Structure 1
């Protein structure tokens, strides 16, 4: 239901669209044609048919119970006044555990509890699974809803609706930047992905008698140590040496962007007046800074 946005299995293909045996050659052929494949990443919620939720409903002591957002029953009162995107209450009662679970969308789409680090690690592991398959990236569905205000305040009632809006307590929540930064660090900037890409470059160049131009960065990109390594005082030099060794040991002609030979990192300014970059200043002042 909901056009596939209720995910029952994060590591398989919707049967209505085919099988993994169909997807893999599709991915390979797309890459042969110079096309990239992006998957829709739906991790604010799962389907109520997902094994995690089936287990979560069995007992409060079940490991997967804390994968979702539950509130104890208080008589006939709902945990708060939130309504779902589809007009019904955003809370659904489960008799087996005598609790309500949150669903910002349909009741068949229970929201994941991103406060639980095991949830986040399960999501990151799933993302790595698809990157290892060879997909090129993700379009992240309602990713701005993954961090909830843990006080779960009532939302404003707008347009004479029966229930309040969940947006105030869910949209761009207090930890959303932290969660996305963690995702970037553990998956999107993961060196294993980078290793796969660099290996593919080398293999294809070698097979076709090619000769590559090797570089980490330029004036339009972040410093290599900050982008691919760790620019803290403890690891900056180690990261710079690792990146330099990797680049200069590959087949091709290496290019060193000024400052790279020193292990230079991104700027660490604290005042906007310290910046002399037109794009950075334009963005700052356009946003009301």
Structure 2
């Protein structure tokens, strides 16, 4: 009698369709899945065969690929749990079915996940962690690269920047600035200041140099420099000017005006000149 009553109650509950539910804008979708546990004596709604007792779980997919499984409870479905419609069972219904000896005994509150289902979740988390690390690594490299590219001239000291400005103007005193000039200026700057200097780091600074320098420009070269720094700038300028083993008239005039703006005497300039020649 109890079995018949339970059967009637169960059949009054509309069956649920096992359709996917998608989360808008995330690519995630949840799909109910059924796994056969045991047959029952309860007739199927269509009168064809009996209902089966099933484990009810949710398969979470990301863009169609399963990434996680969650146990939800138990259900009844036809065709050994392969039907698309099912009746999700509450804990009270499960208990009533067990009392009526229609459902299996000693069931856990929720069905356990299989080993494959557990591993799917672990693998998904591991892949997500790897992807996150790769993204963070790429972002770190981009930021580091941007800092490296953008910080070249800004990281140079005032002395190094001033040497580049003056040396570039010296090189342009008798013509346009060439790639060879940039390489030589970078080398001279590194040798005089001890600061690593690459030609690519000085393009922006040297590019602002002018071949024709006015008196006020010579005075601006001395701004912020002490006596020793001025001598280093003058020596660097002479090193660049003498790269072709000789002073041209335009460069001689440039060095003379620079010495005057720096208040460096001809005698001191000559002393610096003796140590200024470098291989071209």
**TM-score, normalization: structure 1?**
0.20
- Rg larger in 1 or in 2? 2
Q: Normalized per residue, which structure has more strand?
A: 2
